Amino acid sequence: MATYDGLFDGLGLRDWCDTEAADGPMSMADLLAKTQGGGDAATSLRDLPFPSLDALHDACAAIPQSRDLTQGLETGFLGIRDALRVVVDPLTQPLSWALENMLWLMTQTPWWVMVPVLLLVTWAVARSWKVVGFVALMIAGLAFVDHYEVAMQTLAIIFVCAFICVLLGVPIGIAMSRSDRLQGILTPVLDMLQTLPPFVYLIPLIFLFSVTEPKLYGIAVILYAIVPVVRLTNLGIRLVDPDVIEAADAFGMTKRQKLFGVQIPLALPNIMAGVNQTIMMSLAMVVIASMVSAPGLGILVLRGIRNLELGVGLVAGLGIVVLAIALDRVTKAALARIDASQSSR
């Protein structure tokens, strides 16, 4: 006798349970119980199992098992997959084109052209010769160990995905800062995106897209990395001094003028901090996305794990650390420059 048989007997549901049991095959536990000639001894309170689906199913076959729940989710997703593809494929195809073109550009351009361009971008963002020299040293180190091409592939994915995160995340953060209701709706969504393990992002995408499509890992990177820029944009605008907003109102500024002339400039340090965190999270997810054919240094890390090639994995891992430090220094230098310009006003 199962532990919760008395519960269903007391509720008068035994006929319903027995009818359902007769409709389906007998479980292994029922077969063993019948073979052993009856039920187990009364279960003590100490050994009482939690009334989970499986425990209740042992007493009443009409209750589904946990595996029925997971199989139902999979069947439901596969049932709507084709309809989702019709909608999602055209919307996400530009992401595939952007990733393919950026990967081609950064890997096919000669190094003696690409490296100076990257250093010029670094100077434009950071305005610091120390940071430019540091980035040049990091790139030279990666090239010296023949990791230049895979490093450029990783940077290409980060540039595209981080740009899209900022392009989408900043407007979403601005909208959240202007509406408490929207903030209440989006906060649980952002919490879910921030707490989901990185591998979970890949599960539905693998079933939805082909592994050869760049948008598979592009969407995973964007979903994982967009949260910081949204949260910090919202926070930065909400932290603008109310007295400054009141002064802007006194000058007769419209909402648009206040947003672009007052709120965004004052919230820029927080927005840049969100951009920094988004870039770091993009880099972390690019490594994990190598499991679904994302090119770059992550492929070498995955190769080191699969083939137990310690040296390959360690050198590629150090290359990722080098890229992370370089990107972090550049974005923090830009943030420091913004802070200095605001404090001098």
pLDDT of residue 201: 84
Same domain, 46 and 85: no
Same domain, 133 and 235: yes
Q: What are phi and psi of 47, to 5 degrees?
A: -95, 5
Does residue 72 fall inside a structural domain? no
The range of the structural domain enclosing residue 93 comes to 80-343
pLDDT tens per residue across all 345 residues of the chain: 467 777 777 777 777 787 655 545 555 555 555 555 444 445 566 777 787 888 888 878 788 888 888 898 889 988 988 898 888 989 999 999 999 999 999 999 999 999 999 999 999 999 899 999 999 999 999 999 999 999 999 999 999 999 999 999 999 999 999 999 999 999 999 999 989 888 888 888 888 888 888 999 999 999 999 999 999 999 999 999 989 989 988 888 888 899 998 999 999 999 999 999 999 999 999 888 998 889 999 999 999 999 989 999 999 999 999 999 999 999 999 888 887 777 666
> Within 10 A of 111 (CB to CB), how many other CB atoms are there?
12
> Within 10 A of 41 (CB to CB), how many other CB atoms are there?
7
Residue where a domain terminates, one of 38, 64, 90: 64
Same domain, 170 and 216: yes
Does residue 175 fall inside a structural domain? yes
pLDDT of residue 38: 45
Same domain, 164 and 59: no
Distance between CA atoms of 279 and 184, rounded to whole angstroms?
A: 26
Q: What is the CATH number of the domain that holds 180?
A: 1.10.3720.10
Distance between CA atoms of 303 and 54, rounded to whole angstroms?
A: 40
Does residue 70 fall inside a structural domain? no
The DSSP 8-state label assigned to residue 196 in this structure reads: S
Same domain, 86 and 60: no
SS3 content of the chain, % helix, strand, coil (to 5): 80, 0, 20
Per the CB < 8 A criterion, the answer to whether 333 and 127 are in contact is yes
Per the CB < 8 A criterion, the answer to whether 142 and 154 are in contact is no
Domains of the chain: total? 2
Residue where a domain terminates, one of 18, 37, 64: 64
Contacts of 58 (CB under 8 A, 6+ apart): 2, 3, 4, 27, 29
Does residue 298 fall inside a structural domain? yes
Same domain, 60 and 86: no
The model's pTM is 0.85
